[in-house]
Amino acid sequence: MRCPYCGSQDSQVRDSRPAEDGAAVRRRRVCPDCNGRFTTFERVQLRELNVLKKSGRRVPFDRDKLARSVEVAMRKRPVEHDRVERLITGLVRQLEQSGEQDISSDTIGEMVMDALKGLDDVAFVRFASVYRDFHEAKDFGDLIEELKTRERAGETGEPGEA
């Protein structure tokens, strides 16, 4: 692992333990060249995943890109970071366990929207506005109406459309 301070490739592990979310290993490292100390997190990857873009390109799945997208939607929302991290980890596990190596960006976007819908309506609207490429205020109104319909159906115990 490269040292973030001096760039040396020879960092040494001083301590390893499971991370708080249980889905990663937390490693404390020290660089023998500059004595810099830093922490890394290593996650188990069940399989290599590729994302099929709308353009037809195939790119490697990037957990960090997914996490950034979700975190942008969640910015300044009153949701604990642990819940957001569990949501992201759950999405990645679903993708890895799907049995597919190539997953369309549409599938990933729909999964994220479904997960955000259950966590925070504002984050859901933020993510959907980018994912669905909203162009006018009416697009937001339609999505808000969809949320209201879902809430009314949930209050009466009827299955809702989402």
Q: How many CB atoms lie within 10 A of CB 16?
A: 12
- In tens, the pLDDT along 1-39 reads 888 999 898 899 999 888 776 667 889 999 999 999 999
- In tens, the pLDDT along 78-109 reads 999 889 989 998 999 899 888 888 999 999 99
The pTM of this model reads: 0.64
- Residue of 103, 76, 73 lying closest to 88 (CA atoms): 73
Helices and strands: H and E segment counts in the chain: 5, 6
Spatial separation of the C-alpha atoms in residues 29 and 32, rounded to whole Å = 10
The answer to whether the beta carbons of residues 90 and 115 sit under 8 Å apart is yes
One-letter amino acid at 29 equals R
